[in-house]
Amino acid sequence: MASFLLGLIIGIITSAPIGPVGLLTIQRTLTQGRMAGILSGAGAATADAFYGGLAGLGLGVVSGFLARQEFWIHLGAGVVCLWFGVRGMRFQPVKAAAANRYSGRGLLWNYLSMVLLTLANPLTILFFIVVFTTLHLDRNSLTGLLFTMTGLFTGCFLWWTALTLTTAHLHTQLRSRTLVLINRISALTIIGVGLAAIASAAQLAALRR
C-alpha cells in the first residue's frame, strides 16, 4: 500500500507541469470533447508508467540507447508536435466538439498518439531513475515495483482526468471567440515546442560532425 501511495504521489507530481502533452490534452478536450481528453491522458499515463517501470528495473541499457538516439527522438517529437499544432489551428472548438463528442471517431488514435508523444521524451526515464535513486525505492521486490507502477499510472491518470473535466466545464462557460483563442494559443505553443525540438536535433547533428 505504501508503494502504491508513493507511486500515486510521483505520478501527480510528474504530470502537474503543463507542457506540450497537457496543452494537447486541453486542445483535444476543446475540439473533440471530454472522452478525447481522458483517453489522451490515459495514453500519457501509460507511457509514464512504462518508463517508470524501466527505471525501477534499473535498465541502464535502455536509457543509454535513448541517449544515443537523441537526435532521432528530438526530430520525431518535433515533427509530431508540428503536425498536431498545425492540425489544431484548423479546428473550430465549438463546431468540432459538437460534431465529434458522441461519434467516437479517432478515440483510439487519441490514446496511441499520446503514448508515442510521451515516449518521445527520453528525459522522462532519466527523471524516474533519479526519483528511484533519491527515494531509495525498492527495486528488488517485483510486487512492490508493480504496486509503485500502478500508483504511478493512477496518479497520472487522475491528474489528466481532472484537467480534462476542468477544461470541459470551462468549455460550457466560455464564449466561442474565447474558445477559438485558447485553441489557437495552445496550437501555436505546440508548434513552438516542435520547432524547438527540431532545432535541438539540428544542434545535435552539428555537434556530431
Q: How confident is the model over 80-111, as pLDDT tens digits?
A: 777 777 776 766 554 444 444 545 557 888 89
Asked if the model's pLDDT at residue 139 lies above 60, the reply is: no
Please give the radius of gyration of the chain, using alpha carbons only, rounded to the nearest integer: 18
Asked if the model's pLDDT at residue 177 lies above 90, the reply is: no
Lowest-confidence region among 24-38, 87-101, 141-155: 87-101
pLDDT value of position 99: 47
CA distance 71 to 208: 10
pLDDT value of position 60: 53
Q: Which amino acid is at 125?
A: I
How many other β-carbons are positioned within 10 Å of the β-carbon of residue 154? 18
Quote the Cα angle for 176-16-21, to 5°: 60
8 A C-beta contact, residue 101 and residue 40: no
Helix axes 2-15, 123-134, angle to 10 degrees: 140
pLDDT value of position 51: 83
pLDDT value of position 157: 94
Please give the average per-residue pLDDT across 9-33, as a whole number. Answer: 80
The mean predicted confidence, pLDDT, of the chain is 75
Please give the average per-residue pLDDT across 42-56, as a whole number. Answer: 86
Lowest-confidence region among 5-9, 60-64, 84-88, 103-107: 60-64
pLDDT value of position 161: 93
8 A C-beta contact, residue 81 and residue 21: no
- The confidence band for 61, taking pLDDT boundaries of 50, 70 and 90, is low
pLDDT value of position 76: 73
Please give the average per-residue pLDDT across 168-180, as a whole number. Answer: 69
pLDDT value of position 174: 62
**pTM for this one?**
0.69
